[in-house]
Structure 1
Amino acid sequence: MAKDMAKDTSSVGGELQVSKCYCETGRKRHRISMSIQIPFEANHPAGEINLNNDVDEQSIDDTSDSEEAIEDDDVHILDNDNFMEGVTQMDLEDDLTFIGALEPNEPEDLSTDGLFDPGMDDFDDFTDQEPTTEPDGALEEEGPPRIATWRLNLTALSQVYNIYMVAYTDKIYVSRPRSCITNSLPAEPDLILRPQPSAMGIEVGGYLDNIFPHQVNHLVVGDLGDEEILLLAYDDGDVIGYYTRSIENELLRRERDGRDIEIVPEPFFHENVGKSAWGLAVHKNSRLIAVSSNAHNVCVFVFALTGKDYRHNPGVDSVEFFRNIAKNLNGDPSEPSNSKPSPDKETGYVSSLEKAIRRRDANWRIILDTGLGGANIPNVAFGSDNKGEADKVVAIDIEGRLWVMDIWHFGGHPFVKIEDLYSARSRNVRFHYDTFRKPRGWGVLVLPESSFLPAADYKDSLGLEKDNIRFISHERIGNWFDISKAIKHVKNNSSVHPWVRWDKISRFSFNPVEHRGVPPGGSWFEFDHRMKVPDLGAAQEFRTGKPDSEYIEEPKTILTDGSSILRTYEVDLELRSFEEGGIGIMFEKAIDQSRPPHAVTPAMRISHERLANLIHVPELSLVVAGSLCGRVALVTLTRPPKQFLFKRGFKVEAVLPLKRDEDNEMRPICPLLGVAVGPVPFSGNVERATGPVGRRRYRIMLQYYDLRILSYEISRNSLTDPLSIV
C-alpha cells in the first residue's frame, strides 16, 4: 500500500495527485454468462438499444464491431504514467440533449411542473422491458439485478462499518467489500432487505411507475442521535429507515453461524409522505428526519424524546404514530385538512402548539408546504442554531429556488425564498428553448464554517488566479465571483466526450427534433470586460455601516449558525455567501463535456445532467458531487485570508472518472446509479473516531447502470496538505 500512496513530485500547492482506479464489471462480479444481456452494457451485442423512435437506426453503430471495453476477466489497475497529460480542447458546440419526452408536435411548456419533475420522464424503463415485480431470491437466475432508472443516489457506504448498500428496484443489496484496496464485492450480496409497501403506499401508487410503484428513489446514510441509519425514499411515498447496527449484527451472525438460518433486520421507521418521496436529510443532535416530495412540501419527523418509543406498523393505515401539523408560506399553522384556526384563538393556539412540539413528549410530523409558489423538491438539508440544534430546513425545488423554512416557530416566521442566479440575466433575453433554457435546481447542502480549509491566496482558494475571476454585482442577485475558467486548471479532466476523443461519433444518436428542449445554453450572466475583481481596499464596500465609523455592524447571516449553502443545478455549482451582502462563488459547467450539436447517447436520450447526488465529507473539507450523466466532481471547501473580499470559497480538484480512465474505457457511457463515500476499513469495523482525525483514508465507489463499479481512494495527511487520490 505504501507504493500506492506515493505522490508525484511535480505537484505543488493544492493540486490533485491521481494514481489508480480499480474497475470491476458487473458481469465478472455476478458471474453472469455472456448469453445473458446486462442492460446498458455497451460491449455486449444487445447492450445498446435504440429507444428513440425518432432516430434512424443506422445512426447508432453496433458496438460489436468497435473497440472492446474492459475485459471481463480482469480487475484493471492503471499505472501512474502521464497523469499530468493535458486535455485536448476542441471547438465543439454545446450538445442538444432532450429534457423531456414530449410528442413530436407537442410544444414545450415551461410553466408546468410536468416538463421536468424529478424523474418525470415519459418512459417506463430504459432497458425496454416491462416493469414487473421480481421473484424472490438472492440473485435471479434469469439475469442481473434490475435497475430503477432515473432516480437520485442509490448507493451508500456506512461510515461506521464495512458495508456497501445499493438499491435495486424495491430491494437493498448489502455487501461487505472483500478488499480495502479494490473494494471488490461478492457475487451474491451478504444480505437483501425487502421492505414491503405500507398500506398508504399501496393507495398512493407510483409517480414514475404505476405498475411497480414501490421502488427506491433515493437513499442516504446519516446519524440519528447516537445511531447511524440507512434511510430510503420510495416512489410510492414510503420512507423507511434501518439501523446500520442491526444490519452489521446480522452480517456478523451469518459470518459466524452460516446462512442456514437467515434473520432479516426490521426497519425502525416506516412512514408515508403522500406522494413520491425524494429529498432526505437526517439531523444527529436534534434527532430529526426531513423528507421532500412531489407534493411540493417537506415533512419533518420529530421523534419524542420522552414517553413511549416510536413503533411502526406499515401494514395498518388506521394507526397514526405522528401528530400532524402543517405550515404555509407565511409560517402560519393549519391542520392537515388545511383548516386554519379562527382569528380570536390564533395567538393562544400558536403559543400552545409551539410549546407542545418543543416538549418532545410525542411524535410530530411538521409539514412545511411551499404551496402554489413551489414545485417538486429533489433535495433538502438541515440548518442549525449556534448550539448545534436544528432550526431550519433548506430545500431546493426543481425550478432552482431555495427555500429556507423555520421548523419550530409558527406565525410571523414566513419562509424565505431565494431565486436562482439566472434571474439576473437581462429581462430582454427570452427564456426560450431556441436561445436559453433556465437550468433546473437539483442539489443543496448546508456547510458549517469548520468544513472550510484555510487557503493562502486566490489560486489556493478558488483554483485560478485573480485576473481570471469575473466579479458581478447586481441588484437582483448580489455580489459574486465567477470562477468558471478554473475548469482549465483541473488536472486530468476530460472536457470533451470520450466518444468524440475516440473518433467514434457514429455511436451517438443525432436527433433533429429541437422543440423537445435543449440543455442550458449561454452563460448564467451577461458578462462584459469591466467585470474584474476589486482591489482588497474595496472590502469596505461590502460591509454595512459608515466607512468613517469606528463601529462596523456585523452582517446578518442567512442561517443562524453562519453556515454556507451550496446549491447545484445541472452542471453548475453555487456557494452562497453565509452573510447578507457578502460575495458568493459560481462555477458554471463544472462537469460539462462537449459533444457535437444534436448528439445524444442512446442510454440517456433525455436530460441526464443532474448534480443531485451531494455528499459532504467534513474530515476532508470535501463535497462529492455526482451527476446522473456518470461524472463526479470532487470539490474542496476553502477559507481565504481574512483581508480578502470573499469569506469562503471552493475549488474543483478533480472530476471522476479521470481522462486517463475514460481513455482506458473504464467509464461506461450510461447513467450513474450512485456514488458512495466512506472511510477505508483497516480491520473489520470502522470505529468512530474519538480524537482528532484527518488522517483517515476514504474510498469513493461509482456504480453505473451496467453494474460496473469504479473505485478510488482519497486522503489528506493534514489539514493543509493537498488532496490525494489513490
Structure 2
Amino acid sequence: MDRPSKKSPTPSPRTLSVGRCYTQTATARFGNEAKGAIRDRERTSLGMEPEGLESPFAWPSTQQTFLPGLEEDRRRPKDSIYRLVPSMQNYRNNLTALSQAHNLYFVAYQGHIFAYTPRSIPKQTIPRDPDLQIYPRPSKEALSIGGYIDPDTPHVINHIITGYLGREEILVACYDDGDVVAYYVKEIADSISRTKRSTGKTHAHRQPRCFFHENVGHTAWGLAIHRKSRLIAVSSNRYEVTVFAFALTTCQKNSKRIREFCDCCQSSGNTQSSIPRRARNWRIVVAFRAEASNIPNICFADSEDGQAEKICAVDINGVIWVADIWRISQPVVQIPPSKHLILQSEEFWPAPSRGWGVLALSEESFVPVNTLEEMLGLPEEALSIFQPGSGCSQPMVNVAECLAAIPDNPCPPPMLGARAGQFFPNVLNMFHNQSLQSLVGDAIAPNFVGEHSDESEAEPEEPENDIDEPDELDDEDSGEMDQETEAEDAQQDIAVQGVPEIVTADHGGSAVLFPHPPAGLQFHQDQALHDIDEILGQLAYAVQEFQEAISSPDTPETALAQAKDSPVDQDTVMSMDDRQKSSNVTTLRRRSHNRLSTPPIRLDMAFFPHSGMIQVIPRHPIQLLEFLRRKIESNDNKEDDNKDPAAEDRLKRFTKRYHFIRTLEKDLELRSLREEHDTRSKEIGVLCPDAVTFSWFQERSIRPYFRATSRLSMVFHIPELSLVVVGSPTGRVLCVTPTKLRSPVASKTSGMWHHGLRVECILPRSSEEEACRPVLRPLHGLAVGPVQDDDRMYGDRTNRATAPKRYRLMLHYRNHDILTYEVTRKEQTGRLCIF
C-alpha cells in the first residue's frame, strides 16, 4: 500500500527498554568441530555429499532410545561430534521453553526434551551437555497412529510449553504421533539437584515422573494450560481441540457399580453440564464448524470469575473459532479471515496469508493511554482506514507506517506490488515442502492448481533430495456426522431435554457411536488380526501387563498378538480395567494440599459439548484406537436454534470483555466480536501488514533452509510487562504493547477509536542481526521467562522474578546459535507500563 507521505513520521516515545543482545555460538558451546558437523548435516538433508570424513547421523535418535542395542547404534563411535551436537527437526511449532519459577531452559530435540540450567546473568549461557534428558516413550496408541510429518520417525516433538496447573508449574510436550505428555517442573529441578549432589555430574537415566500421558488421535500442534481451572488443551489435525480436565474431588455417591454413571455425569440445567464438578478425569472434545481446518495454535478465554470458559483456536485458513468448553449445544463463534489484498502470502504468493496464532486479551491486558498517538505510535493523519468489507465486519486501521518508523528495523515493510512480481517465479519450487502439506494438507491446493501449476516454469535450484512428502489430509470430511444410528443404542436418550446423552463403551455402544474408519485410516494390524469382533472377546490386560506393553519396544501387531494369546473372561476384564483406572497416567496423585485431589477409582470419561454426549473412554487397545480414530464431528448448532436470553447476555459480556490478536504469516490483527449496526459506532480494529517480512530469505543461496518458515506462530503474553511477544521461524520477533484510550473517541472518517496495538521493536535489530547473526538459519524456538536472580528474588515459587520485573527472551536457531535479550519497563512510567 502506498504510504500517505514520503516523510517518515516521528514515532511516539518508546516505553519498552530492551537490553544488550548476547550471543552464544555453536562453536563456543560445542567446540571447533561443531560448525562442520552442522554444515554436513545440512548438506546431507539437501541430498549433497558431506565435506567431513565422518558420515552424519541423527542424535538423539528415537529408534536408539526406544529400541536399545541396535547394531547400527553400536557401530557409531561414542566420541563422535554427532553425539554431542543434537539434531533439530524441521517444520514444527515452538520447540524451546523457559521455566517461570526455576532457572531451567528446555529444548526439544527429536523426541527428547533437554533440560539446561543457564549459567550467568545476563548472558544466560547454555552448557554443552544437558543437566537432564527426558525421553517419554510412545504410547501404545501412538505406535499404531504413526507420524504425519515424518512417518519414518513419528515420535518427534511438535511443540513444548511451560505453565501453571494450579500452584504447580508443568512442562507439556506434544508429538507428531498424537502423544501428549506432562511433567512437574519442580520434579525436574529436584531430579537435577539430586543427581548433581550425588555424583557431581548428570546422567540421562535419572528420569522425573511423567504424570500425564495421553493421545489425541492425530498429529498434535497447539498447546494451552489454564492455571485456575487446571486444564490442558491440545489441538490436532482432526480439526478439533481436546481439553483434559483432571479430577479435583471425589464422586458424591459412593456407588459400588463403578461402571455406571452417577450424578456427576448428569446435567443440572438445560445447557450447563455438571462436568465442572470434576469428580472424574474428563476428555472434553471441542468441535468446530464443518469448514474448520488444521489448528496450529489455541488459547483459553476466561469467565468473569477467572475460570476457563471458552477455547479459542485459529485454523490454517485464518479463521478464529471460539467455542464453549462446559455448556451443551452452544453455537461456535466465528471470526472470518480478512481478505484484504495486502494480506497475501509472501512466501507462497498469490495464496492468501495463512493463520498461525491467536491470543484472547481481556480488558485488563490493555495499557490505558490518553492520545491516539500513544495508542498506535502514530498520529491519525498518518493512518489509513479500511472500511468494513473484504471479510471484515469492522473498519481496520493500517499501521504499516508505525513499522517504517521503528528505528533499526531489520525488515521494514515493502511497497505493495513489488513483492508479487519479484518472488512469483520462485514460489512453485517451494510449494512442495513437507511442512505445508503436513499441517495445511490440501487446503492450499486450490490456490496453486491451474494455469501456474506447471513445475517446469520454476527456476532450477542447487541439488537437493526432497524428503518423501506425507500423504494429503485424509479424505473424510471434517463437517460430516453420521447420524443414522447415533441414538439407537444409547443407554439413556435424554439429549432432547438438553441433558448429556450417555453412551456406554460396550461393544454395541461404541460400534454405533464410532463406526470403523474409512479406507486409509485403518489400524496397521497384521492380517490375522483384522477381525476386530473376535479379538475384542479375547483381549484382557491387567494393570501391570498393560503398562509393560506400553513401555515395551514391541510393534503394535506383536503386542496385540500377545494380548490375544492371554484369554480372560469379560467380567475379569471389567474389573481389571477399573483397577487400572486408579493407576492410569491421567490421574494426578498428589498428597500435598496444594496439588490436585486424588480422583476416585473410576473410568475416564469423554464429553462432547456440541452434542451433549458423554461416553466412557475404553481402555482396551483396539477399542481405544477406534475411539481416537473415530469419525470427525462438527458443531452445526446455530444461534437461531438457541434463543436463550441468558446465553445472549453471556455472549454480550464476553464480546465486551475480550479482543483477539490473530497472527498470520507476516501480519497481525487486533479484532473484536462486537457487532454494532451503526457503522460510525463500530470500533476500529488494527491491521499490521508485513510486520515480519520474508524478504531476502527468498534468496537462492539460503532458500532451501527457510522453506515454510514465514509464519508468526510463536505467541506469548507477559501480563506483568503489558507485552505481547510474537516470533517467526524466519528468526525475528515482534514486541507489541496492547493499548486502549481511556475514553473512546470518534474517528474523523468512520468508527470509534478505543483499543489498539503499538509495535515497540523487532528483534534482532538490524545492527544486531548483522553482528550476531552472520549465518542466517531458521528459528528452532523462542523462549520467554522471568530472569531468575537469586540476589533479588521476592515472593513464593509462583512469583519468582526480579524486582522490577525483567524477562529474558532466548532465540534458539537451527544452527545452535542462541541470542538472548532482557526486556523490562522503565520504572518512571508507572502504572501505564507495569501492572
Instruction: State TM-score, norm by structure 2.
Output: 0.61
Q: How does 1:139-154 map to 2 (within 5 A)?
A: 141-143=81-83, 144-154=85-95
Q: How does 1:59-98 map to 2 (within 5 A)?
A: none
- Within the candidate set 585, 593, 610, 2:686 is matched to 585
- Within the candidate set 213, 217, 233, 1:270 is matched to 213
Classify 1:690/1:634 alpha carbon distance in 2 versus 1 (closer, same or farther; 3 Å). Answer: closer
* 2:762 is the alignment partner of 1:664: no
* 2:352 is the alignment partner of 1:396: no
Structure 2 partner of 1:49:
43
Contact 2:23 2:818 in 1 (8 A): yes
Contact 1:471 1:479 in 2 (8 A): yes
Paired letter, 1:300: V
Structure 2 partner of 1:716:
825
* 2:323 is the alignment partner of 1:405: yes
Classify 1:357/1:630 alpha carbon distance in 2 versus 1 (closer, same or farther; 3 Å). Answer: same
Structure 2 partner of 1:566:
661
Residue 273 of structure 1 and its aligned partner are, at CA, apart by 0.2
Paired letter, 2:294: N
Structure 1 partner of 2:151:
210
Contact 2:298 2:314 in 1 (8 A): yes
* 2:167 is the alignment partner of 1:167: no
Q: Distance in 2 between matches of 1:691 and 1:605?
A: 37
Q: How does 1:501-580 map to 2 (within 5 A)?
A: 512=426, 514=428, 557=652, 559=654, 562-577=657-672, 579-580=674-675
Structure 2 partner of 1:110:
none
Q: Distance in 2 between matches of 1:63 and 1:435?
A: 35
Structure 1 partner of 2:62:
133
Residue 366 of structure 1 and its aligned partner are, at CA, apart by 1.1
Structure 2 partner of 1:292:
235
Q: Distance in 2 between matches of 1:562 and 1:150?
A: 35
Paired letter, 2:667: D
Q: What do residues 126-148 of structure 1 show as CA deviations (whole Å, max 9, x unaligned)?
A: x9979953645999753410111
- Whose helix proportion is higher, 1 or 2? 2
Contact 2:353 2:664 in 1 (8 A): yes
Over the aligned positions, Cα root-mean-square deviation in angstroms equals 4.1
* 2:250 is the alignment partner of 1:155: no
* 2:589 is the alignment partner of 1:675: no
- Within the candidate set 399, 405, 408, 1:492 is matched to 408
Q: Distance in 1 between matches of 2:208 and 2:407?
A: 44
Structure 2 partner of 1:245:
186
Residue 359 of structure 1 and its aligned partner are, at CA, apart by 2.1
Paired letter, 1:707: H
- Within the candidate set 416, 440, 458, 2:333 is matched to 416
Paired letter, 2:92: R
Q: Distance in 2 between matches of 1:21 and 1:656?
A: 9
Q: Distance in 2 between matches of 1:169 and 1:700?
A: 23
Q: Distance in 2 between matches of 1:257 and 1:169?
A: 29
* 2:705 is the alignment partner of 1:604: yes
Structure 2 partner of 1:550:
none
Contact 1:511 1:598 in 2 (8 A): no
Corresponding pairs, count: 560
Q: Distance in 1 between matches of 2:319 and 2:825?
A: 34
Structure 2 partner of 1:440:
354
- Within the candidate set 591, 595, 600, 2:696 is matched to 595
Classify 1:574/1:194 alpha carbon distance in 2 versus 1 (closer, same or farther; 3 Å). Answer: same
Contact 1:603 1:670 in 2 (8 A): no
Structure 2 partner of 1:453:
367
Q: Distance in 2 between matches of 1:23 and 1:484?
A: 30
% same residue = 35
Q: Distance in 2 between matches of 1:141 and 1:472?
A: 55
Q: Distance in 2 between matches of 1:139 and 1:351?
A: 65
Q: Distance in 2 between matches of 1:466 and 1:35?
A: 50
Q: Distance in 2 between matches of 1:399 and 1:222?
A: 28
Paired letter, 2:141: M
Higher Rg of the two aligned structures: 2
Residue 195 of structure 1 and its aligned partner are, at CA, apart by 0.7
Q: Distance in 1 between matches of 2:51 and 2:768?
A: 19
* 2:469 is the alignment partner of 1:469: no
Q: Distance in 1 between matches of 2:726 and 2:186?
A: 27
Contact 2:697 2:706 in 1 (8 A): no
SS at 1:149's partner residue? coil
Classify 1:433/1:155 alpha carbon distance in 2 versus 1 (closer, same or farther; 3 Å). Answer: closer
Contact 1:494 1:593 in 2 (8 A): no
SS at 2:290's partner residue? helix
Paired letter, 1:629: T
Contact 1:386 1:560 in 2 (8 A): no
Q: What do residues 200-237 of structure 1 show as CA deviations (whole Å, max 9, x unaligned)?
A: 11111001111111111001111111111111011000
Which is worse superposed, 138-147 or 392-401?
Answer: 138-147
Classify 1:253/1:291 alpha carbon distance in 2 versus 1 (closer, same or farther; 3 Å). Answer: same
- Within the candidate set 277, 289, 297, 1:379 is matched to 297
Classify 1:596/1:643 alpha carbon distance in 2 versus 1 (closer, same or farther; 3 Å). Answer: closer
Classify 1:211/1:139 alpha carbon distance in 2 versus 1 (closer, same or farther; 3 Å). Answer: farther
Residue 436 of structure 1 and its aligned partner are, at CA, apart by 3.1
Classify 1:179/1:513 alpha carbon distance in 2 versus 1 (closer, same or farther; 3 Å). Answer: closer
SS at 2:143's partner residue? helix
SS at 1:648's partner residue? strand
Contact 1:296 1:374 in 2 (8 A): yes
Classify 1:715/1:235 alpha carbon distance in 2 versus 1 (closer, same or farther; 3 Å). Answer: same
Q: Distance in 1 between matches of 2:744 and 2:782?
A: 37
Classify 1:615/1:179 alpha carbon distance in 2 versus 1 (closer, same or farther; 3 Å). Answer: same
Q: Distance in 2 between matches of 1:264 and 1:691?
A: 25
Structure 1 partner of 2:37:
37
Q: Distance in 1 between matches of 2:102 and 2:784?
A: 12
SS at 2:321's partner residue? strand
SS at 2:244's partner residue? strand
* 2:809 is the alignment partner of 1:700: yes
Paired letter, 2:409: N
Residue 618 of structure 1 and its aligned partner are, at CA, apart by 0.6
SS at 1:707's partner residue? coil
SS at 1:196's partner residue? coil
Q: Distance in 1 between matches of 2:57 and 2:424?
A: 20
Contact 1:571 1:588 in 2 (8 A): yes
Instruction: State TM-score, norm by structure 1.
Output: 0.69
Which is worse superposed, 225-234 or 260-269?
Answer: 260-269
Contact 1:25 1:707 in 2 (8 A): yes
Classify 1:34/1:705 alpha carbon distance in 2 versus 1 (closer, same or farther; 3 Å). Answer: closer
Q: Distance in 2 between matches of 1:556 and 1:409?
A: 13
Residue 419 of structure 1 and its aligned partner are, at CA, apart by 0.7
Structure 1 partner of 2:14:
14
Structure 2: which 5+ residue stretches go unaligned? Answer: 1-9, 69-77, 252-257, 414-421, 437-443, 445-647, 676-681, 746-751
Residue 456 of structure 1 and its aligned partner are, at CA, apart by 3.1
Structure 1: which 5+ residue stretches go unaligned? Answer: 1-9, 40-45, 65-126, 309-319, 324-334, 336-347, 498-507, 521-552
Residue 693 of structure 1 and its aligned partner are, at CA, apart by 8.9
SS at 1:245's partner residue? helix
Classify 1:416/1:717 alpha carbon distance in 2 versus 1 (closer, same or farther; 3 Å). Answer: same
SS at 1:372's partner residue? coil
Contact 2:367 2:832 in 1 (8 A): no
Residue 49 of structure 1 and its aligned partner are, at CA, apart by 3.5
Q: Distance in 1 between matches of 2:384 and 2:236?
A: 37
Structure 2 partner of 1:339:
none
Contact 1:676 1:700 in 2 (8 A): yes
Residue 36 of structure 1 and its aligned partner are, at CA, apart by 4.6
Paired letter, 1:648: H
Classify 1:403/1:254 alpha carbon distance in 2 versus 1 (closer, same or farther; 3 Å). Answer: same
* 2:135 is the alignment partner of 1:26: no
Q: Distance in 2 between matches of 1:678 and 1:483?
A: 29
